[in-house]
Amino acid sequence: KNQVEQSPQSLIILEGKNCTLQCNYTVSPFSNLRWYKQDTGRGPVSLTIMTFSENTKSNGRYTATLDADTKQSSLHITASQLSDSASYICVVSDQTGANNLFFGTGTRLTVIP
Amino acid sequence: EAQVTQNPRYLITVTGKKLTVTCSQNMNHEYMSWYRQDPGLGLRQIYYSMNVEVTDKGDVPEGYKVSRKEKRNFPLILESPSPNQTSLYFCASIRLGGTHGTQYFGPGTRLTVL
């Protein structure tokens, strides 16, 4: 069964600290993996997208890694800011078409001063 | 500016009263989709459309209808809403072809069915 699991479910960190969010998936055949940031009450916004051949991609203070062999991805946030408080959602596509997107349930990150 | 718009943003209604949530995108994307988001369950796909006049069921289509008469619009219709359809709804669009592009989400519609 195609699944995407994220951990931790929630995380609280101090402003300025780094953190890493995890995403494990069983989706096959794999096409790509995306990380989204979703602020409360708003739609998800894309942070990164990685295909099979990419093992790291950065977007400012956000760096995503992908290990297609172990089917794991991580999102690393450097020097966190209060505005990083949001839910982070991992989404994996298979190769059968754009409609086959598998969503993780997200990690709720809270950055406190 | 590339965007997906939804209306209304908030809606409180009563059981059985038909409603429509509109969705419009200005990026000429072929693919549009509706999701509902519930606590602990993440985003679940309701319906999707690969192009005009082409729609298909997602994971949780019961109680919903959609139409795609024009490329830019993809309304979600609840013919007889029930309380279990109380949720946060998102419309999204993506350009098909080549490597998968970014999926753009609308701002969300929070629906409460009493």
Q: Using the CB atoms, write b or e for A77-108: b if 16+ within 10 Å.
A: beebeeebbbbbbbbbbbeeebbebbbbbbbb
Q: State the smallest CA–CA distance between residue B110 and chain A in angstroms.
A: 8
State residue A2's pLDDT score: 76
What digits encode the pLDDT tens for the residues A40-69? 888 899 999 998 888 999 999 999 999 999
Least confident of A56-60, A74-78, B93-97: B93-97
State residue B100's pLDDT score: 55
Whole-angstrom distance between the N-terminal and C-terminal Cα of chain A?
Answer: 41
Query: What mean pLDDT do residues A8-24 have?
Result: 95
State residue B98's pLDDT score: 54
Considering only CB atoms, which chain A residues are within 8 Å of B50?
Answer: 98-99
Contact A49 B100 (CB under 8 A): yes
Contact A103 B42 (CB under 8 A): yes
Q: Which of B33, B42, B90 sits opposite A105 (nearest CB)?
A: B42
Contact B33 A46 (CB under 8 A): no
| pLDDT range class, residue B99, cuts 50, 70, 90 | low
